[in-house]
Structure formats: C-alpha cells, structure tokens
Amino acid sequence: QVQLVESGGGLVQAGGSLRLSCAASGRTFSSYAMGWLRQAPGKEREFVAAISWNGEIIYYGASVKGRFTISRDNAKNTVYLQMNSLKPEDTAVYYCAADLRIVVLTVGRGLDYWGQGTQVTVSS
C-alpha cells in the first residue's frame, strides 16, 4: 500500500516557478514509477511527467517539455516537479500518482495509487 500527499501548490504569476512535492508512505516506494498528472476545470486529465523507479527513464507531456523537471529521492520517499516559466494554461489541480509500470502513468488510467491533488494557479 502506498499513500501519496502532494504539497507546494499555490498562486504564481506567469513566468514564475513552483516546486511540487509528493511524499509517499510505504516501504515499497522505490519499486514504483511515479508521475504527475493535472486536470483543469472542464478539461480532461493530462499527463505531465513520469519517472521510473530508479530515475533512469523520464517522460514529459508535450505541453511542459523544456519547462518542467521531474525528479525523485528514494531515500526520502519523495518525488518532485520543478515548474519553470509557468503559463496561465498550466493552471490546474496537479496529482501525484504511482504505478509499477511507467507507461501506465503516461496514459493516466488504471493507476495503482493517486494523491489528493494540489492546486496550481498561474495569473497572467
């Protein structure tokens, strides 16, 4: 069993930065691929980024590539999402997720575990 708790969301101006954190409980954290997805009001859930259990494989969604960086610290059971050059269209609830298969994270369905989400609002 893995429980995920996100933090670090908030209000930021366009062009600014935020770093999201996702703290995981459970001794099997290092076995899981981790990812971030987001959902804006009235829009479908969107894949943001995913990282394999050892950090060697990383995927990004097209809309964030070059601006966002995902990383993990297995010693701290934490995954991070550094978000730079934020745009108003990045406004959404950001969810941390875990799955044994990284490809499932890129699809965003049938995931093993989800966090409660953290709101990110980017003002223009």
Residue 22 C-alpha from the chain's centroid:
8
Q: Quick check: 112 pLDDT over 90? A: no
Q: What is the per-residue pLDDT across 67-105, written as a single tens digit (0 to 9) for each?
A: 999 999 999 999 999 999 999 999 999 999 999 999 999
Q: Quick check: 26 pLDDT over 90? A: no
Return the sign of the alpha-carbon dihedral for residues 18, 61, 35, 91: positive
Return the sign of the alpha-carbon dihedral for residues 65, 101, 44, 121: negative
User: Could you give the CA distance from residue 109 to residue 87 in angstroms, rounded to a whole number?
Assistant: 26
User: Could you give the CA distance from residue 48 to residue 76 in angstroms, rounded to a whole number?
Assistant: 22
User: Could you give the CA distance from residue 21 to residue 3 in angstroms, rounded to a whole number?
Assistant: 13
